[in-house]
Structure 1
Amino acid sequence: MNRMRRFSESFRSPSKSAPPHFDAEGEAEPIQLQLGTSVLRYENRMWLNEDSGSNEAVKELLAKNQALEAENQLLRFKMGVLLDMVCMA
């Protein structure tokens, strides 16, 4: 029976020491990516934008978008009520 050898401590010869442990996430510098004027950094399994000004702009746009969606929903409701009133008359 041919047994496959695996690289583990049990098959290592006593004269050779184990290779040093390398923690890639702990010891390496974070990855940075530059897209135009924005600089993104990968840390803790998340992409972070280093430009704080653009974060504020995104938050403002999200708030404005939410307000417009609420207004759109109200206008659709009003349109439905008006159509019901026209159909009844």
Structure 2
Amino acid sequence: MDWVKIVYSVILLVCGILIFFGPFSQKGDDRRKFINAKAQSYSFIVVIGMLILEVAQSIYLAIQGNASYNGNGISPIVFL
């Protein structure tokens, strides 16, 4: 059973190294990098905005004492 953990760890390590060093092998194309950075920043802003709205809603419902609010928070499936 230990060899399974070792093989799995080696696979994860190799994948991590490839992901880390992969972008260094790409040459030029600064425009593509700029477009990707902008898209990522907009996506990050949307995600943070959704989380802030969800937290504000849960705080509001908790203060109001809404009987239908059970305090479970946001569903990860819906959030994705």
With the length of structure 2 as denominator, give the TM-score of the two structures: 0.45
Q: Which has the higher helix share?
A: 2
Q: Which has the higher strand share?
A: 1
Highest CA radius of gyration, 1 or 2? 1
With the length of structure 1 as denominator, give the TM-score of the two structures: 0.41
